[in-house]
Amino acid sequence: MVALSVWAAVDVLRMILAVGRYEDRIVVVTHGNPDVGPAWWAYEIADVLLPAGVAVPVVADRVWLLATVVAAVTFLGWWQRTRRANWGGLAALLVAVALHLLARLYDALTSPGAAAWGTGWDTRLVAYPLWVAGTVAVVVTASLCVRLIRRVAEDRHASADARGGTAPE
């Protein structure tokens, strides 16, 4: 359950930093104020805290990938070990990962020099909803999986108490 909670928290932070980076691009070009100030400040603080030459998005993406792999392996290991035919958690996990893969594709297509860079696709109206949808999917998935794990654990303890024994691991 801890791995799923950490995954959700890391995903929220990664999304905030992605929005902050996008806001920073706008500030650099327009010399104006960011529209999403807290995200921009979070990005600026992360940029100052990291050593020179280390890009915030690279670090955020690597930490996110690590958290995602740990959460997925942990959940899939639990899912296989319990031998439960509950596909809801697995389906939610696949949807969240698919949305993030779509977001990564978007990021690649709108990066400097890529096909969609500087086009109508490279706007906040496209980026922010995509990133938020991915983050919402991760938070919902983590919540569903944690709820599923708790329910199975409670069922096992209740059945063990009814038998007068201990719950199987």
Q: Between vectors from CA 13 to CA 33 and to CA 52, what angle results, nearest 5°?
A: 70
> What is the predicted pLDDT for the residue at 169?
53
Alpha carbon separation from 15 to 53, 61, 169 (Å, rounded): 21, 10, 36
Mean pLDDT across the stretch 134-147?
A: 90
Distance CA 61, CA 125 (A): 22
Size of the chain in residues = 169
Q: Whole-angstrom Cα distance, residue 142 to residue 148? A: 10
Q: What is the pLDDT of residue 168?
A: 53
DSSP 8-state symbol, 123: S
Distance CA 125, CA 117 (A): 14
Which pLDDT does position 135 carry in this prediction?
92
State the average pLDDT for the chain: 84
pLDDT in tens, 29-47: 777 788 888 999 999 999 9
Q: Tell me: the pLDDT tens digits for 49-103? A: 999 888 898 899 899 999 999 998 988 888 887 766 567 777 888 888 888 888 8
Q: What is the pLDDT of residue 44?
A: 93
DSSP state of 121: T
Residues 6+ apart with CB under 8 A from 112: none
